[in-house]
Amino acid sequence: MNWRKLRTLFLWAFALSLIPATRYYQIDVPLLHFLRGHHVDPLSLHLAGEFVENNLGTEQNSDGSVTVRMIAQQYLFIPHCIVVPVGVPVHLRITSADAVHSLTFNGTDDAVKVLPGTVSQTQLQFPKAGDYKTVCREFCGAGHYAMRSEVKVVPRDQFPTLQPGERGTCAAQ
Ligand SMILES: [Cu+2]
């Protein structure tokens, strides 16, 4: 075998090894979540369970962290604007009511794949206060390019002074 063939073989082996690497987050992680019971019925999200309307938004946990629950659907994220305190762990739980979406936060590297039928959960943290645009990065239909919302990251001492309603949506502020 000459060097040329060996190089071709090596490049093929490298290219093929990328397939399991990319499919891990796209397929295996959501599948694992599903198999572990993190599944929800996308058609009845608003009727019962964790993702009913008054349970969405930011909830303060006793250890100082917060839990954020959101729904992605064509073509918006609900709540449209959320408030979180700066510098604390944010446990994000999000599911889709229809297509596959991907929630990203401008100015950070975080990206959360959102699939109907399963709950995607991830932990993030915003090191700086300010407004972060959230953008859908998975083409999900005609209105995809308008699918964006906002996270307001507020000082840690300001967050507990907010009314429960103000934590769910920033529109009131
Ligand atoms: Cu989208």
What single-letter DSSP state applies at residue 160? G
Q: Assign domain 42-168 to a CATH class.
A: mainly beta
- CA distances, 55 to each of 29, 49, 142, 148 (Å): 25, 9, 29, 21
Q: Tens of pLDDT along 32-53?
A: 766 766 678 888 888 888 999 8
Output the six-digit token pair for 159.
């967050």
Residues of the chain below pLDDT 50? 173
Q: How far is the CA of 72 from the centre of ligand 1 (A)?
A: 8
Q: How far is the CA of 14 from the centre of ligand 1 (A)?
A: 31
User: For residue 51, which of 77, 84, 85, 30 has the smallest C-alpha distance?
Assistant: 77
Q: What's the helix, strand, coil split of the chain in %, to 5?
A: 30, 35, 40
Q: How far is the CA of 43 from the centre of ligand 1 (A)?
A: 18
User: For residue 72, which of 135, 6, 154, 153 has the smallest C-alpha distance?
Assistant: 135
Cβ atoms within 10 Å of 136's Cβ, excluding its own: 26
For the chain, give every domain's residue range: 1-37, 42-168
Q: How far is the CA of 133 from the centre of ligand 1 (A)?
A: 14
Q: How far is the CA of 135 from the centre of ligand 1 (A)?
A: 8
Q: 85 by DSSP, 3-state: which?
A: strand
CA quadruple 149, 139, 95, 122: dihedral, nearest 10? -80
pLDDT of residue 63: 92
Output the six-digit token pair for 36.
């572990």
Q: How far is the CA of 145 from the centre of ligand 1 (A)?
A: 7
Output the six-digit token pair for 140.
């999900």
